[in-house]
Amino acid sequence: MSELSLDTIDIHTKDLYVTRGYPWQEWDLLRREAPIYWYEREGIAPFWAVTRHADVLAISKHAEVFVNSQRLRLDSVEDDERQVGSRLQRATERGWDPDEPPDFIFMDDPRHRKFRLLAAKRFTPAALRKLDGHFSDLSRKFADEFSAELTRTSDTGETCDFVRGFAQKLPLAAIGEMMGLPAGDWMRLKKLTNVMIGAPEPDFYRPGETRNQALQRASDEMTEYMVRLVDEHQERGPGAGDLSSLIVHSTIDGEPLTVQQLQGFLFVLLAAGNETTQNAISGGVHALLENPDQRELLCSDPSLVESAAEEILRWTSPVLQFARTAVEDFELSGTTIRAGEDVGMWYPSANRDEAVFDEPYRFDITRKPNDHLAFGGYGAHFCLGANLARWELRAALRALIPILPRMASAGPPGRVRNLHVAAIHALPVRAA
């Protein structure tokens, strides 16, 4: 690679994430020379690129200064406009409020907190413990299925796709069951979220359809599904016991939520619940296959599962960034962020910050402490599903330990075209 310079580095072009993966060298340069860097490039609205651990934490902890409601994620101007246009069109067609945020991540406190609390009790360690045995059984079942696929292909030398064969199954089943969604619907919903995040789903496309048209169709079908789910729960009345029912029958300040608010709420749980964890599982297995000493260590000492899961979260950092907008001037490590300016917090970069992590580019499943920011920076919006994701990742690793020694990497991961969740849509492996 030619010499990188601050003036020309590119950390925003989605196609580059597909072809080269995460821009580690660019983030290293930023952390070293301009950790709070005014990033102005064609095709994306300017923002302060924040790449150090301490600064991501500081922003996250000052939710009263850095708000979510104005610019939540960094995206291209083209995609920002498309999303706003599509939201307005949907609001007009359905008679919805055009100013209502799509979901509670786009809200600020105190309103955000009221919405978040409706679901929060289902994501506590105590609530998840009740599901523990069942989800462990599911992980073992999925691992057995993948093991059978490895056995079947070992003679022919065919490659298997670890994402479809294992990684996507547990997160989908976990959130699908928690939300009480019929198992027969899961794969269709998965396909819709895949299209929406930019994964190639060739059989979804109609002849001559562009990516944006397919994306719009997937998002319309998803809205339709969630609106129907809300209707069904409203007709059935409370008491179904699942997370969807709980939310549909909740009130805020004594008022029920609108259908528009409910469908957005249910959708964000489904999408956040199935795309991110899948990437930690597939990225984690990729890292273990690329670092055989760490794989052997884990297989010989399963008590390392918990620290391995944390290292995988740090190493893979499945969420690339969230943005915030300053509502007043703020002094951040010597740089003044002016009211009205946006900041982008690059979590993978924070997770390679040499000021916090010893040898950050060493994949070390025994790393302790491991204060990674894969779930965000401990502020008001800290990942609601962190306990669930951790639990799933540990269960997946435990179930995979018997078959990891039989797996070998068979090529680089296939990455989606997305600037928010840099997901892995395929991971070729073969029987070792």
Q: What is the binding site for ligand HEM (CB under 6 A)? A: 60, 105, 116, 175, 268-269, 272-273, 276-277, 280, 313, 318-319, 322, 347, 374-377, 379, 381-385, 388-389
Q: What are phi and psi for residue 34, nearest 5 degrees?
A: -150, 70
Q: What six digits make up the tokens of 287? A: 């890292």
User: How would you write 23-57 as a 3-class SS string?
Assistant: CHHHHHHHHHHCCEEEEEECCEEEEEEECCHHHHH
- In the bound complex, what is the minimum distance in angstroms from residue 206's beta carbon to ligand HEM? 31
Q: Residue 14, exposed/middle/buried by CB under 10 A (0-12, 13-18, 19+)?
A: middle
Residue with the closest Cβ to ligand HEM?
385
Q: How far is the CB of 73 from ligand HEM (least distance, A)?
A: 10
Please answer whether residues 408 and 150 qualify as being in contact, where contact means their C-beta atoms are separated by less than 8 angstroms.
no
Supply the DSSP symbol for 410: -
Instruction: Say how far apart CA 231 and CA 226 lie, in whole Å.
Output: 9
- Comparing CB distances to ligand HEM, the nearer of 63 and 410 is 63
Closest to ligand HEM by CB, 48 vs 375, is 375
Smallest separation, CB 203 to ligand HEM (Å)? 26
Q: Which two tokens stand for residue 38?
A: 């005014």
Nearer to ligand HEM, 396 or 429 (CB): 396
DSSP letters, 200-251, are --GGGPPTT--HHHHHHHHHHHHHHHHHHHHHHHHHH-S---SHHHHHHT-E
Q: Smallest distance, Å, CB 408 to ligand HEM? A: 25
Rounded to a whole number of angstroms, the minimum distance from the CB of residue 208 to ligand HEM is 35
> Tokens representing 373?
């920011």
Q: How far apart are the first and last CA of the chain?
A: 33
- Closest approach of ligand HEM to the CB of residue 432, in Å: 27
From residue 29, give the alpha-carbon distance in Å to each of 323, 352, 369: 20, 12, 25
- The residue whose two tokens read 């008022």 is 255
At closest approach, how far in Å is the CB of 76 from ligand HEM? 20
Residue with Cβ nearer ligand HEM (218 or 269): 269
Rounded to 5 degrees, φ, ψ at 431 are -70, 135
Least Å distance between CB 385 and ligand HEM?
2
44 vs 388, which CB is nearer to ligand HEM?
Answer: 388
Residue 94 has which token pair?
A: 């359905």
One-letter amino acid at 2 equals S
Question: Which is closer to ligand HEM, CB of 60 or CB of 263?
Answer: 60
Q: Which is nearer to ligand HEM, 424 or 431 (CB)?
A: 424
Identity of the residue, 279 or 409, whose beta carbon is nearer to ligand HEM in the bound complex: 279
